[in-house]
Amino acid sequence: MSRAPLFLAMALLGLAVQVAVFVAFLGESGLDFGELGEQAVQTTIAVLALTDLLLTGTIVLLWMPGEAARVGIQKWWPFALAAAGGVCFALPLFLWARERRLEPAGA
């Protein structure tokens, strides 16, 4: 049984949650990048979450080109661009494409 639909659903859910949180921020603060940066480092827990996200994103972006080449995905960079929607969108989207590539023909 293919896991591709699950990965696609997770990608879409990740994007929807990111957009919802960003829209809530815009409703409160407008498009204020200074405020966004301030809130991202306002508490120790926020810095912990930001550090985890940045390190995870870096690891994913370093892993993705090699894995894409290994499974035969010719263009990996659109998935890197998708990281603008969050690693929670880009990684499952890449895993969806990878899973589809690994599926046996006719499955």
Q: pLDDT category, 79, cuts 50, 70, 90?
A: very high
**What does the alpha-carbon distance between residue 39 and residue 50 come to, in Å, rounded to a whole number?**
11
Side-chain-side CA neighbours of 11 within 13 Å: the count stands at 18
pLDDT at 104: 78
**Amino acid identity, position 87:** V
pLDDT at 1: 79
| Domain membership flag for residue 107 | no
**Interval 68-72 mean pLDDT:** 96
**What does the alpha-carbon distance between residue 87 and residue 61 come to, in Å, rounded to a whole number?**
9
| Domain membership flag for residue 53 | yes
Q: Given a cut of 90, is residue 63 above it in pLDDT?
A: yes
| Domain membership flag for residue 63 | yes
**Amino acid identity, position 107:** A
Total domains, the chain: 1
| Domain membership flag for residue 18 | yes
pLDDT at 11: 97
**Interval 49-69 mean pLDDT:** 96
Domain enclosing residue 89, as ranges: 4-101
Model confidence, pTM: 0.88
